[in-house]
A = this chain, B = another copy of it.
Amino acid sequence: MIREITVELGMDEMADITDEVREFVRESGKENGAVLIFSIGSTGAITTIEYEPGLKKDFPRIMNKIAPYGEDYEHHKTWNDDNGSSHVKASIVGPSLVVPFSNGELMLGTWQQIAVVNFDTRKRKRRVVLQIL
């Protein structure tokens, strides 16, 4: 079973998609298994985070310390683009996450949500694939 969801996000914005994943697992009718969450595209990423207003700022701030926006990247010479930092951030965090479920429930911590992050420098409709493994 497979589903694609779309989330529109600005630069360095993230969205909590835990409910969508939970609903997908429920609809699959599977009691035990794992669900793959995969971000299509090279400037988006998937991770888990405590989804609250503070960390929504802290996480992209630290990622920007790692790969600062506005500096020179070789990538910019290839495409005359401005999002070299976005690509590097997304490759570090990674596009795939696998979460186990048991008795139909995601095995997440109470403060652990599934998030898609848009590291691109412009607003993007991020496509995320959900799949029962």
Q: Which residues of A contact B (CB under 8 A)?
A: 2, 32, 34, 36, 38, 40-42, 47-50, 52-59, 62-63, 65-67, 73-79, 84, 87-88, 90-100, 102, 107-109, 111-113, 115, 127, 129, 131, 133
Measured CA separation A54–B76 after assembly (Å): 7
Q: Which applies to chain A's interface (DSSP): helix, strand, loop or mixed?
A: mixed
Q: Is the CB of A50 within 8 A of B59?
A: no
Smallest beta-carbon distance A93→chain B, Å: 6
Q: Is the CB of B100 within 8 A of A97?
A: no
Q: Is the CB of B41 within 8 A of A111?
A: yes
Measured CA separation A18–B57 after assembly (Å): 34
Measured CA separation A109–B127 after assembly (Å): 9
Q: Is the CB of B98 within 8 A of A112?
A: no
- Most interface-central of A42, A74, A97 (chain B CB within 10 A): A42
Tell whether A95 pairs with B75 under 8 Å between CB atoms, given A55-B87, A88-B58.
no
7 contacts between A and B (CB under 8 A): A2-B102, A34-B36, A42-B111, A47-B91, A54-B77, A59-B87, A92-B93
